Amino acid sequence: MSMFEDIPVDVGVIYEGERIRRKNMQVELGGPKQETKFELVRAKKMDEVEDEKITIIGPDLKDLAEGSSVPFGIYIEIAGKNVEEDLEGVTERRIHEYCNFIEGIMHLNQRYDIWMRLSKKSFKKGLNSFTHIGKVLARLYKSELPFIEKIQITFITDPEKIKEMSKQALEIYEARDAKARGMKDEEVDTFYGCTLCQSFAPTHMCVITPQRYSNCGSISWFDGRASAQVDPKGPVFAIEKGELLDPEKGEFSGINESIKQKTLGAVDKVWMYTGFGYPHTSCGCFEAMAFYIPEVEGYGIVDRGFKGVTVNGLPFSTLADSGAGGRQVDGFHGISIEYMRSPKFMQADGGWDRIVWMPASVKERVKEFMPKEAVVATENEAKTVDELKVFLKEHSHPIVQQWKEAPVEVTPTAEGEEAMEAAAFPVSTATVAAGGFRIIFKNAKIHAEKVIIKRVDKAKR
């Protein structure tokens, strides 16, 4: 493509889903080893942005030691006559997609939790400066999202600057999240769907309502609305909610129709407020995983940042892998932290009366939104299921009343950092592009279980 002639590596949709293992990486930016990292998009006035200006604060790629891991920030400023603050969230979410178009770049997660790797192979080909990545992003943004007329991009590897800017970023994320709080799903006629994660999880569609944030925790109902207005045929689109079929579980005819269409029939029914039956599917970039603990008949919650093992002896990566990939798995439910602040949170399962364990750091983030009487153990009160049982009994958790009923069987899989990546890039899925089509092989072993052929935009090829 002439658009990327001056870039030393290839750029295209075929590289989305490319995994870069530790032994093949030149450098790691952000990720689980780094305390501070962020990506942030801000809407600016036309005269505040110098179009396609790329700035690097701290060492550039060529100056970072081979195999090292460094703190990292991406700060993007956009301007245009239709650019407004409500477009920041969805524009920011595209960083993930566009970075992954670059041969030899892997980008996972979002916001305060980004994780990037550059491959040795692409580094040797000449991808040794953030300037190249910046140029690709600027061009993709302007060709894919025409409301962006001017864009400037700053890459930060200086640890002090990252600390300062990530603090600011956290405040901005919080302000965005707070905006939809207090609104009810009953009060709107339109929800929003997001298929940005379909390159990794072809049968996943996020349904974004005022009271259920996207799984990744970075697209609110307002963000969805703004995006669907400027780009209605894009990956974030309006869903007419249709008939309310079950108010408790959260089943809407419009959601069912939309997900059936967008997943080509793989998923045809979704219950929004439960982790059982027809739960909202889990992609790979959810902020946290709700996991059913059959021994106590309650849910544990674990977020991506939790480094230890949870109360059932399994780490986030293993639990995440058990639900990821656009599947509906009973008792494994990918969620955003913001959804935990919603009054609809796991409503059909009993809401907070069904939550029994979470990391202390997560509890701290949501404590203002928990009912006062809620009883939740953390790693400080219960390290094993037996300790959890004692804690729940001692504190008269409402679930204790139900312990006579028979438990439900659930089986998790895989372990370690590899599993953490696998959760974001489900191994059961392969994507290839050919002749302008994107071909996705689902659960392919000897033969493909299903082949999905999608037309790909010219600019993305």
Query: How far, rounded to the nearest angstrom, does the alpha carbon of residue 216 sit from its chain's CA centroid?
Result: 3
Instruction: Compute the least distance from the CB of residue 426 to Zn ion, in Å.
Output: 11
Q: Which is nearer to Zn ion, 286 or 391 (CB)?
A: 286
Q: How far apart are CA 203 and CA 266, in angstroms?
A: 6
- Amino acid found at 195: T
Using the minimum distance from each CB to Zn ion, give the nearer residue, 197 or 388: 197
Q: How many residues bind Zn ion (CB under 5 A)?
A: 4
Q: For Zn ion, give the closer residue by CB, 95 or 385.
A: 95
Residues 381, 358: Cα–Cα separation, whole Å: 10
| Helix boundaries (H) for 145-271 | 159-180, 221-230, 253-262
The only residue of 133, 283, 301, 377 in contact with Zn ion, by rule CB under 5 A: 283
Q: What is the DSSP letter of 88?
A: H
Where does residue 5 rank: exposed (0-12), middle (13-18), buried (19+ CB within 10 A)? exposed
Q: Which stretch binds Zn ion (CB under 5 A): 53-61, 212-220, 237-245, 273-281?
A: 212-220
Q: Does 230 bind Zn ion (CB under 5 A)?
A: no
How many helices (H) and strands (E) the chain has is answered by: 11, 20
Helices (H), 310-366: 316-323, 337-340, 360-366
Q: How many CA atoms lie within 13 A of 217 on its CB side?
A: 26
CA distance 450 to 216: 27
- 216 contacts Zn ion (rule: CB under 5 A): yes
In angstroms, the CA 430 to CA 438 distance is: 10
**Minimum distance, C-beta of residue 284 to Zn ion, in the bound complex (Å):** 6
- Find the shortest distance in angstroms from Cβ 308 to Zn ion: 24
CB of 283 to Zn ion, least distance (A): 3
The stretch among 80-88, 239-247, 283-291, 451-459 that binds Zn ion (CB under 5 A) is 283-291
Interaction pattern, residues 180-209, with Zn ion; x per rule: CB under 5 A: -----------------x------------
Build a one-symbol-per-residue string for 284-303: x at contacts with Zn ion by CB under 5 A, - elsewhere.
-x------------------
Q: Which is nearer to Zn ion, 133 or 283 (CB)?
A: 283
What is the smallest separation between the CB atom of 197 and Zn ion, expressed in angstroms?
Answer: 3
Q: Which residues here bind Zn ion, judged by CB under 5 A?
A: 197, 216, 283, 285
